[in-house]
Amino acid sequence: MQSYRFSRFGSLDHLARHDEPMPTPERGEVLVRVRASSLNYRDLALLSGQYPMSWRDGLVPLSDGAGEIVALGEGCNRFQLGERVCNTFFPQWFGGPFPIEQGARQYGSNLDGWLCEYKVVSEEALVRVPNHLDWAEAATLPCAALTAWTALTGPQPVKAGDTVLVQGSGGVSLFALQLAKAMGARVIATTSGADKAARLKALGADEAIDYLAVPEWGARARELNGGVGVDLVVEVGGKGTLEQSLAAVAPGGEIAVIGFLADGAAELDFMRYFLSGATLRRIAVGHREGMEAMLRAIARHQLRPVVDRVFPFGDARAAWEHFLARRHFGKVAIVH
């Protein structure tokens, strides 16, 4: 069977395809015929050496995969042969608060990931995929979709009638838009231009703000919500967007702190935070219980992930190159 490995990060020239022995499931494990995988911003951060968590060289890349169960190890009873599954982002986080040691157990950075034809994992590290999704769509769920779901369903879950602000048109943000709309929320989206603004509106955004044309987009978002501010900011920009997120959020609202896409001042303005009256909650993707709840919602609402482009397994490098060009809208996937 074939897999890709990064001998070391730093350049796509270090990504190579290998013939490897077919893995065999042991007790409690299953063999998955991987049908698709997808890229996340973390795969670019790993490539450029800017991933803020631990990682090592030599691994199969990509944290997200979907496929079909083709062999069961002894004692397995969670799935049957032929079932369609995708992975959970953290293979051993099933529910409850984030176990900090799980931060060092991530596919593609600490464990072999999903850019391979076959993979053996614990049956506990997989969930069933909704029937209406194709393989590429299913492979977009483990990281970006669950992160958006966790942001929306926190201690203060989004209610019908709330206003949610999402930033940009990447994977996490589009899932947050779609899921927030399914929950009955009003969505304000920020983006970098009129074309993307139109696409975000077509996807259900009630308002779109071009953050290049309106650098003070936080005040604009607040204004668009009657001057009170938004109930939740799904914050993916980090240093470069937090100040505007603080301007956008309502007192008693929440900023779900997720990403680090945008450069900016490293310091948090304490008084601005203090006076905002908002809660900052850092997100670490999510757990299996959350993933299963999200999959029920996706099936119930027949939501379809926005897949920008799909590449064949033999041309995985082109998927990175396309994702590196930063012109995508939604997810970039690879079919195996």
Ligand X SMILES: NC(=O)c1ccc[n+]([C@@H]2O[C@H](COP(=O)([O-])OP(=O)(O)OC[C@H]3O[C@@H](n4cnc5c(N)ncnc54)[C@H](OP(=O)(O)O)[C@@H]3O)[C@@H](O)[C@H]2O)c1
List contacts with ligand X (CB under 6 A). 40-42, 45, 143-144, 147, 167-173, 191-192, 196, 211, 236-237, 240-241, 258-262, 283-285, 326
In whole angstroms, the minimum distance from the beta carbon of 252 to ligand X comes to: 23
Three-class HEC string of the chain: CEEEEECCCCCHHHEEEEECCCCCCCCCEEEEEEEEEEECHHHHHHHCCCCCCCCCCCCCCCCEEEEEEEEECCCCCCCCCCCEEEECCCCCCCCCCCCHHHHHCCECCCECCCCECEEEEEHHHEEECCCCCCHHHHCCHHHHHHHHHHHHCCCCCCCCCCEEEEECCCHHHHHHHHHHHHCCCEEEEEECCHHHHHHHHHCCCCEEEECCCCCCHHHHHHHHCCCCCEEEEEECCHHHCHHHHHHHEEEEEEEEECCCCCCCCCCCCHHHHHHHCCEEEECCCCCHHHHHHHHHHHHHCCCCCCEEEEEEHHHHHHHHHHHHCCCCCCEEEEEC
Selection from 72, 54, 75, 61 nearest residue 15 by Cα? 61
Nearer residue to ligand X within complex by CB, 22 or 213: 213
CA distances (Å), 40 to each of 89, 138, 170, 332, in order?
12, 14, 9, 8
Nearer residue to ligand X within complex by CB, 172 or 291: 172
In whole angstroms, the minimum distance from the beta carbon of 144 to ligand X comes to: 5
Nearer residue to ligand X within complex by CB, 67 or 171: 171
In whole angstroms, the minimum distance from the beta carbon of 62 to ligand X comes to: 12
In whole angstroms, the minimum distance from the beta carbon of 197 to ligand X comes to: 8
What's the rounded Cα separation, in Å, for the pair 94 and 105?
Answer: 13
Nearer residue to ligand X within complex by CB, 42 or 181: 42
Nearer residue to ligand X within complex by CB, 72 or 319: 319
Nearer residue to ligand X within complex by CB, 115 or 236: 236
Cβ atoms of residues 60 and 108 within 8 Å: yes
Nearer residue to ligand X within complex by CB, 30 or 247: 247
Q: Which residue is nearest to ligand X (CB)?
A: 170
Nearer residue to ligand X within complex by CB, 106 or 276: 106
* All residues at 6 or more sequence positions from 274 whose CB lies less than 8 Å from its CB, including other chains: none
In whole angstroms, the minimum distance from the beta carbon of 258 to ligand X comes to: 4
In whole angstroms, the minimum distance from the beta carbon of 87 to ligand X comes to: 14
In whole angstroms, the minimum distance from the beta carbon of 124 to ligand X comes to: 20
In whole angstroms, the minimum distance from the beta carbon of 315 to ligand X comes to: 20
Nearer residue to ligand X within complex by CB, 30 or 176: 176
In whole angstroms, the minimum distance from the beta carbon of 212 to ligand X comes to: 8
Q: Which two tokens stand for residue 203?
A: 């996807």
